[in-house]
Amino acid sequence: MYFRGKTTAKYIIFPVEWEWLVDLTTVTVSITSSCGENIFVNEILNSVISIGGNTCEYSYVVYGERKDIDKMDIDIEN
């Protein structure tokens, strides 16, 4: 699962569905500053991602694995 967007906020709020649909221990965040600043993820909590170092707009993509279905068992033959 993923969601994405652009903002200048110091935090990114998870969609409501993520609480019951996504395993929050698998969350990965990619952020890109629009003005070249060094922005970073401070902390990932249950419903919000805290962002540091930003004073301008940035783009983000947040990924997470679903927890309501079993993980795929991939068998790769050598």
Q: How does pLDDT run across 16-68, given as a tens digit for each residue?
A: 998 889 998 999 999 999 998 899 999 998 889 999 998 899 999 999 999 88
pTM for this entry = 0.85
- Give the residue ranges of DSSP H helices in 1-78: 18-21
Residue 17 CA: distances (Å) to CA of 1, 8, 26, 46: 11, 23, 15, 12
Rounded to 5°, angle at Cα 30 from 69 and 66: 5
pLDDT for 78: 65
The mean predicted confidence, pLDDT, of the chain is: 91
pLDDT for 51: 95
Structure tokens at 16: 């409501």
